[in-house]
Amino acid sequence: MHDRPSRRTVLATAAAISAALATGIPSAAARADALGAADRRRIRALIGRMSIEEKVGQLFVMRVYGSSATDPAPDDVAANQSQMGVSNADELIARYHLGGIIYFGWAHNTQNPHQIADLSNGIQRAGLTHGTPIPLLISTDQEQGAVARVGAPATLFAGGMALGADGSTADARTAARIIGTELAAMGINQNYSPVSDVNINPANPVIGVRSFGADPAAVAALAAAQVRGYQSAGIAATAKHFPGHGDTGTDSHYALPVITHTLEQWQSIDAPPFQAAVAAGIDSIMTAHILVPALDGSGDPATLSHPILTGVLRERLGYDGVVVTDSLDMAGVREKYGDDRVPVLALKAGADQLLNPPLLDVAFRGVLDAVASGELTEERIDVSLTRILALKLRKGLFRRPFVTHEGVDRVVGTPSHLAAADRITDHGITLLANDARSLPFPRRSHRQVLVVGADPAAPSGTGGPPTAVLAAALTELGHPARALSTGTAPSPALIAQAVAAAGGMDAVVVGTYNVTAATTEQIALVRALVATGVPVIQVAIRNPYDIAFLPPTAASLAAYGWTDVSMRAVARAIAGRARPTGRLPVAVPRADDPATPLYPIGYGLGY
């Protein structure tokens, strides 16, 4: 049974969070994270043995190319030499005394679970071999759905908004526990998840389906559930992107967004999920490269803002855990200051971990120079270092830094985990329209189905393009289907090909991807398919707003994702093997009047 909160519960939760924000009550995290006297002595002794270079190095979390810590492929060696002046992870850690490494698929870090475990072990071996022996925090962005750095055979879920449509805190916690357990088995001990932004802007280009939704209380409940799930698995969760990246039309990877919320709006919309994460004992919080004039009128992004990171997060919300910057190679944090100044200003603002600067040597020397000049004191460095070392102690890294292939095989991609992912994903599929009860397909008809539409890239190790995965899943369920990829901007020739292929079919399923008034090609495709007279089932495979811009179809589903697990869930809903019980976690506005909802939060049909 789903434990979706009632309206009364949602309002009570929002009121309690607002009261806590207003009074600045000390967080549960600050109390729960208190270390014993022996651990505090151990940290002080460790810091006492470290050089200033080692201390500063511990604050940095850096990318590195290659599938091996000591023997990467030649192209990865070249990339490391070009960007960092070293050949591999072992040399990088030895030179800069890094406190953390972040994994990316494009850096060839995450090819398969055994390789990831071996890479993690090599990284930990380097940390314990060079200089003062300290294990590393190994992190990644395993949000699921649109952002997943580790692909199959690891268990993959549908992502934040699909969980928001599910509405179950139990499902959210289960998903995080499974993800965390599998990451831990591969030696990844810090996940940059859950996304805790409240996505109230349908045009948001960077958050969207990564968010749980647009209801602050619901997002807060789901974020807290995921924090508990991840951390019950022994890894550090990270709520992001503070103070809230959900109402912007600008991508902070490429520019500096401005959030125009008043202080009251921030308190009621953006703050609740972070306050809930803090109360749940969150290990780390990631900053956002955004301007929030209501919180800081200086023109500095939140990552570099003392009023936001110290005044609001530390003092007002009572958070004393690790603060990690969003990636310092993003344009949103580099517009105003040079790459040598950005890490210094982040530390002065209240950050602890400095994530992925574009030029590590420039950033590293910048911090050292600031200490040498007195702009940053060594005592200030020690404050962040203490938080980082305390987190490593709590995660057991000094006791158990290494992982095994046997441990990987025991938990990664197990049948029970995969079954849980399918079950939870089923709960989020949302039925928005079903004219003349076109769904589910009757068992003995609809023997020929055409699947067309967009095929955005999916994480590595998936079963292929979404249209092919959906067609194969429908075929397996007794509705033989043919796949035809038409892309996000189908040409007139491709549209004509799709129309011709629809002839003689019992139904057409069309996957649409981020449709707006400007995506005229996808609109033309759906219009042409409807004109054939064949029943058309439209599936929004990313943002759920597509239906507002499209001509009426026989039925419409929102899947909130396009990876294999979502496509299989769509097939089960179409075939009647699972009921679509999801409810919109965001409002879908009218195309001709964006201020008016076409479908409100909580809308969803069933059968």
**Both ends of the chain: CA-CA distance in Å?**
17
Q: How far apart are CA 465 and CA 471, in angstroms?
A: 10
Catalytic residue of the set 2, 114, 253, 306? 253
Nearest to 511 by CA among 435, 448, 443, 563: 563
Q: How far apart are CA 387 and CA 380, in angstroms?
A: 11
**C-alpha distances out from residue 266 to 246, 293, 312, 404, 507, Å:** 11, 11, 11, 45, 46
Helices (H) and strands (E) in the chain, counts: 22, 18
Give yes or no for a contact between 477 and 509, defined as CB atoms under 8 angstroms apart.
no
Helix (H) or strand (E) holding 358: none
Q: How far apart are CA 349 and CA 310, in angstroms?
A: 6
Helix (H) or strand (E) holding 525: helix 520-531
Nearest to 499 by CA among 514, 487, 510: 510
Q: Return the amino acid letter for 123.
A: I
Secondary structure class of 434 (helix, strand, coil): strand
Beta strands 507-512 and 190-191 are unpaired
Q: DSSP strand E in 66-164: where?
A: 100-102, 137-140, 142-144, 147-148
Tokens matching residue 168: 């179950």
Is there a catalytic annotation at residue 564? no
Give yes or no for a contact between 293 and 247, defined as CB atoms under 8 angstroms apart.
no
Is there a catalytic annotation at residue 253? yes
- Residues near 287 by beta carbon (within 8 Å), at least 6 away in sequence: 240, 241, 242, 302, 303, 309, 323, 324, 325, 326, 346, 351
- Residues near 416 by beta carbon (within 8 Å), at least 6 away in sequence: none
Helix (H) or strand (E) holding 427: helix 415-428
CA quadruple 444, 445, 448, 449: dihedral, nearest 10: -110
Give yes or no for a contact between 88 and 68, defined as CB atoms under 8 angstroms apart.
yes
Catalytic residue of the set 197, 326, 340, 352? 326
Tokens matching residue 314: 């530390």
User: Active-site residue numbers?
Assistant: 253, 326
